[in-house]
Amino acid sequence: MTARLASAFLLCALPTAVQAADGPAFHFENDILPVLGRYGCSASGCHGKSDGQGGFKLSVLGSDPDADFAALTKEARGRRLMTSSPDESLLLRKGSGRTAHGGGTKLPYDSDDYRTLRTWVAAGMPFGPADAPRVVALRVEPAERVMGPRAEQPLKVIARYSDGGEKDVTRHARYQSNREAVAAVGADGRVTTLDVPGEAAVMAGYLGEVAVFRALVPRPGPAVVADLPRFNAIDELVDRRLAKLNVIASPVCDDAEYLRRVTLDLTGTLPTPAAARRFLADPAPDKRAKLVQELLATPEFADLWALRWADLLRVDRQALGPERARTYYGWVRRSVAENVPFDHFARELLTAEGPLNEVGPANFYQVVTKPGEMASNLAQVFLGVRIGCAECHHHPFDRWTQADYAGMVGFFTPVNARGNAVSAGTAVTLKHPRTGQPVFAHALGAVPPIADPAGDRRAVLADWMTRPDNPYFARNLSNRVWAWLLGVGIVEPVDDVRATNPPSNPELLGALARFTVESRYDVRKLIAFITASRVYQSASRPNPTNERDERNFSRALLKRPEAEVLLDMVSQATGVGEKFQGSPGVTRAVQLWDSKARHDFLKRFGRPNRVTACECERTREPSVAQVLTLLNSPDIQAKLSHEAGTVVRLVRTQPDDAKLTEELYLTFFARFPTADETAVATAHLRRHAVDRRRAAEDLAWALLNSTEFLFNH
C-alpha cells in the first residue's frame, strides 16, 4: 500500500464525531485551546510571539480565546478550517505533516488530539456557551516528594472548574523545572532527578493557572550529623534544610576570612593592613559584631549601598541631565547614610512630587515616564514581582492577568512628569485591553474595587505596599539584602518572585521577613542579624557533602565583586587612585552617581546602564577581555609600578624580604602569609635581588591576579 493510500485509509478511519449527539457540546476555551497549548502552537516561540509565525498569530498560551477563535475561523479567507472537509483544513494538514510546516509534525493521525480537532471542525467549529465552567485552580499530585538520584515521578495534574467539577489535565498541561540540574521534567509530566542534591520546583501550567510539585533530593549515603554552633535563628532554619538534604555545613571561617568578607560586603573596601593586624590580634569574643557596627557607620557603607539602590531605581544622567541625576542620587545616598527605614524610603519615592531639582525621588518619574513602566519597575524593585508580561497576556508562569497589570498601572495614570516638576494630573480609568471593561486601580492580589480610589492613588498603593502583612514587601527586602551578603538569594533571581519560583528555604525567608517588620524596616539591623549568623560566617572551603551545593547556604560562595568595587580594590591595594572623567572630587568608583561616565574597566566588568530595574542588568559573567585586562592592562601595571604606590613604598621601607611579603599579603588578602607562602616569596625576592623593585611588582601582580584577591569569599 502506498504512503498516499495509507494516509487516505487512515483519514477515512477516523471518527467523524468525538461525542454522541446527546453528549456535551464543545467549548473552544476548555477543549481546543489546551490542545494548541500542549503542542506549543501558542507558545511565545511559535505562533504566540508578538508578530505570530507565518502569518498566523495566536495569543500567548491561549490568554485571549476570542482572538484565537477569530484567527482560526475567520482569517486567511477561512482556509485554516474547513467544515465541509475537516481533514483538508490547513491547521490539520500542517499539524499532521501532510503540508510543509516549520514546526514539524505535531499531530499524528492516530492521536486523540487530532481526532478532537477534526471532530470540532466537523461539528461546525462552535465556540461554546458563554456560561460554561472555567478553570479556576490547579493542583499537582503528589505536591512534593523526597526522591533519590536518578529517580522518576510521574505527575498528575487536576484542574478545578468554577462549577466545582474536576478534570485530569495531565496530558495537556505544560511543565517546567526551575532547577534542571536537580530535576528535569518531560512533556508528559514525568519528573527525573539527576545526581545533584537539592530541591527543584516543577511548574505545571494549564489555561492560565499554575501549580507546583517540589522534589527534594538528599545527598545519597549514610545520614550525616553536624556538630556546629548556632549563633541565631538563621542557623537553626538552615540546618533543618541541610539535614533533609543529608548535607553538613562548612565550619566557621577564621578571623581573616571574616574580616575581608564583611568589609567588602558592607563597604566595598579592603581592610587596611593596620586594621587587619588590630582585628586579628583582638581577643574579644564579640569583636565580629563590633566590627559590623563600625562598618555600618562608615561613609563607605553609604557609598556602596547607595550604588546598589541607584542601579535599581535608575539614577540615569542621560535621561535626567547632570544636575537632576545628582539630586536623585543625593537623596538615595542620604537615605542610606541616615538609615531611613525602608518603608519610609519606598513611600517617599512612590508619592514624590515637586520640582525635580529639589525633590530627589521625584526624578524617578522623569526617568520612567509611562504609567505601565512605573508600575512594572516599582513592583520589581519593591515587591520583587515581574508583572510586565501581563501587559499583553496572562503571565505564563504566574497568577497575574491583564486585569492585575491594569490595576497596578491605574495608580500611576494621574502622574504628570512633564517639564521641571512632578505633579498629580488628570486621573484616568483604564479599560481591560481584551474585554473593554473598566479596570479600577487595585493592588496585586486584591479584589478589584468598584471605583478608583479617591485622592492621591499612589498614597493608597504605598499604604498597601508597606503594611506589615504585605506578602511581598518585607520578603523582597530581606531576600535582596540576603543575596547581596550571601551571593545568592533565597528566591533566585531575586526580582522574580512567583509561585512557580519558590524560595529554596521558605521558613528562612519568612523568619527574615518577620524580623524586618519587627525591626521597623531598619536595614542595618537586618544586616547585623544576617552577618551574626554562623551561616554568613561559614568558611568557603567545601567538604565532601556540600561541594555541589549552591542554593542551601551550607558554605560561603565565592562572589565576584561589582565592577566598581573591583576597580576600587585594585586602586586601594596598589595605593594609586583612579580618575573619573567629568566627576571631580570622586575618589572611588562606587561614589560615581553617573552610570554613563566613560570607563573601560567598569564597562568590561559589567557595570549596568540603568535602563531597567532588573538586577540582571549588572552582569558578572567572566570573559576573556576581563582576564586580559587583569593580566596585561598597562593601566594596572602603571598602578603596580607607580612611584607613590604601595609596592615602591614597601620596597623602600621594608629591607627585610619576609616583612615585605607580610605587608603585601596583608594589603591584598588581609591575612598573614603561611610559612610556605613566605618561603616562596622570599626566595623569589632573593633570586631577583638585583632588581628587587621589579621582583616585588611581580609578586604583587601575582597576588592581584589570584582568585583569593579577585573574589570575595
Q: How confident is the model at residue 44 (pLDDT cuts 50, 70, 90)?
A: low
Give bridge partners of residue 177 from the DSSP assignment: 202
138: nearest Cα among 168, 113, 163, 178: 168
Q: How confident is the model at residue 53 (pLDDT cuts 50, 70, 90)?
A: confident
List, for residues 338-370, the tens digit of each pLDDT value.
999 999 999 999 999 999 999 999 999 999 999
> What pLDDT was estimated at residue 38?
81
Q: Does residue 79 carry a pLDDT above 90?
A: no
For the whole model, what pTM was predicted? Answer: 0.88
Which domains are delineated in the chain?
3-122 (no CATH), 135-217 (2.60.40.10), 341-465 (no CATH), 563-710 (no CATH)
Q: How confident is the model at residue 47 (pLDDT cuts 50, 70, 90)?
A: confident
Alpha helices in 109-224 (DSSP H): 112-122
Q: Does residue 412 carry a pLDDT above 50?
A: yes
C-alpha grid cell for residue 296? 555600618
DSSP 242-305: HHHHT-----BPPHHHHHHHHHHHHHS-PPPHHHHHHHHH---TTHHHHHHHHHHTSHHHHHHH
List, for residues 315-331, the tens digit of each pLDDT value.
999 999 999 999 999 99
∠655-656-662 over CA atoms, to 5°?
115
Q: How far is CA 640 from CA 220, 339, 387, in A?
A: 49, 37, 48
DSSP 386-455: --GGGGTS--TTSS--HHHHHHHHTTTTTEE--TTEEEE-----EE-TTT--EE----TTSPPPSSPPSS
Chain centroid to CA 38: how far? Answer: 27
| CA gap 669, 442 in Å, rounded | 52
Q: What is residue 611's three-state secondary structure? A: coil
- Each as own residue / partner, the long-range contacts of residues 257-260 (CB below 8 Å, 24 or more positions apart, any chain) are 257/539, 257/540, 257/556, 257/671, 257/713, 258/288, 258/537, 259/291, 259/670, 260/669, 260/670, 260/671, 260/712
Bridge pairing between strands 415-416 and 421-424 = antiparallel
- For the chain, what percent of residues have pLDDT higher than 70? 94
> What pLDDT was estimated at residue 613?
92
| CA gap 196, 684 in Å, rounded | 43
Q: How confident is the model at residue 482 (pLDDT cuts 50, 70, 90)?
A: very high
| CA gap 251, 249 in Å, rounded | 6
60: Cβ contacts below 8 Å, ≥ 6 apart:
42, 43, 44, 48, 392, 393, 394, 396
List, for residues 171-185, the tens digit of each pLDDT value.
999 899 988 999 999
| CA gap 429, 441 in Å, rounded | 8
> What pLDDT was estimated at residue 82?
84
List, for residues 187-226, the tens digit of each pLDDT value.
999 999 998 888 999 999 888 788 999 999 999 888 888 8
Q: Does residue 514 carry a pLDDT above 90?
A: yes
C-alpha grid cell for residue 380? 520589581
| CA gap 530, 442 in Å, rounded | 34
180: Cβ contacts below 8 Å, ≥ 6 apart:
200
| CA gap 496, 614 in Å, rounded | 9
Q: What is residue 687's three-state secondary structure? A: helix
> What pLDDT was estimated at residue 7?
42
C-alpha grid cell for residue 462? 504605598
Q: Does residue 13 carry a pLDDT above 50?
A: no
List, for residues 217-268, the tens digit of each pLDDT value.
999 888 888 889 999 999 999 999 999 999 999 999 999 999 999 999 999 9
Q: Within 10 A of 84 (CB to CB), how many other CB atoms are there?
A: 8
> What pLDDT was estimated at residue 24?
46
